[in-house]
C-alpha cells in the first residue's frame, strides 16, 4: 500500500517534535532552580518575590510553580520562608547554569551582540543536546 508508506514517512518526522515537547516540560524546572541558585549567590537568600521580579511574572505564578518543584524534590520551601535547593535541585541548577554559560559564550564568539546573545541563549539552552553542547565547546576552544 502506497498510502501506508506515506503515512509512516510522515509519522517518522514526528520525533523532533515529541522531543521538543518533552524538553519544554523541563524548561520551567531548569529555569527556576538556576534562578534560585543565582539569587542565593547574589542576595544571600531567595524569596518568592525575588523570583517574581527575576522572571517578571506575578508572585502567584511563582508560588504555584515553587510548590510543584517542592513536590518534585527540586527545592525546599515553607510558608513565608526563603526557598532552598535540595541536592537534586542544586545538581540540576549547576548543570543548567553551566550549559547556559556555554551557549551564551558560544553565541558571543559566533559574533552575536551581547543583548541578543543573552536573550537567545535563554531560549536555546533548553534545546541543546549533549552532542550539540560538545560541538559548541569545541568551537569555543
Partner DNA sequence: CATAATCCGTAGCCATTGCTACATTTATAC
Partner DNA sequence: GTATAAATGTAGCAATGGCTACGGATTATG
Footprint (CB under 8 A) of a copy of itself, residues 114-133: 116-124, 126-129, 131-132
Q: Give me Rg for the CA atoms of the chain.
A: 18
Of residues 64, 98, 114, 137, which one binds DNA by CB under 7 A?
A: 64
Footprint (CB under 7 A) of DNA, residues 7-36: 21, 27-28
Residue 55 binds to DNA (criterion: CB under 7 A): yes
User: What is the smallest separation between the CB atom of 38 and DNA, expressed in angstroms?
Assistant: 16
Residue 18 binds to a copy of itself (criterion: CB under 8 A): yes
Choose the one of a copy of itself, DNA, none that binds residue 47, judging by a C-beta under 5 to 8 angstroms depending on kind. Answer: DNA
Stretch that binds DNA, among 36-44, 48-56, 112-120, 125-133 (CB under 7 A): 48-56
- Cα(29)–Cα(86) distance, integer angstroms: 13
Amino acid at each position: 500500500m502506497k498510502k501506508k508508506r506515506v503515512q509512516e514517512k510522515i509519522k517518522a518526522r514526528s520525533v523532533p517534535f515529541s522531543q521538543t515537547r518533552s524538553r519544554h516540560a523541563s524548561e520551567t524546572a531548569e529555569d527556576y532552580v538556576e534562578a534560585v541558585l543565582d539569587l542565593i549567590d547574589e542576595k544571600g537568600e531567595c524569596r518568592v518575590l525575588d523570583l517574581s521580579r527575576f522572571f517578571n511574572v506575578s508572585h502567584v505564578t511563582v508560588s504555584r510553580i515553587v510548590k510543584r518543584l517542592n513536590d518534585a524534590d527540586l527545592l525546599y520551601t515553607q510558608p513565608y520562608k526563603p526557598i532552598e535547593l535540595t541536592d537534586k535541585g542544586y545538581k540540576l541548577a549547576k548543570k543548567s547554569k553551566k550549559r547556559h554559560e556555554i551557549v551564551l559564550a558560544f553565541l558571543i564568539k559566533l559574533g552575536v551582540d551581547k543583548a541578543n546573545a543573552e536573550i537567545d541563549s535563554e531560549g536555546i539552552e533548553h534545546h541543546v543536546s549533549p552532542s550539540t553542547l560538545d560541538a559548541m565547546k569545541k568551537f569555543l576552544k
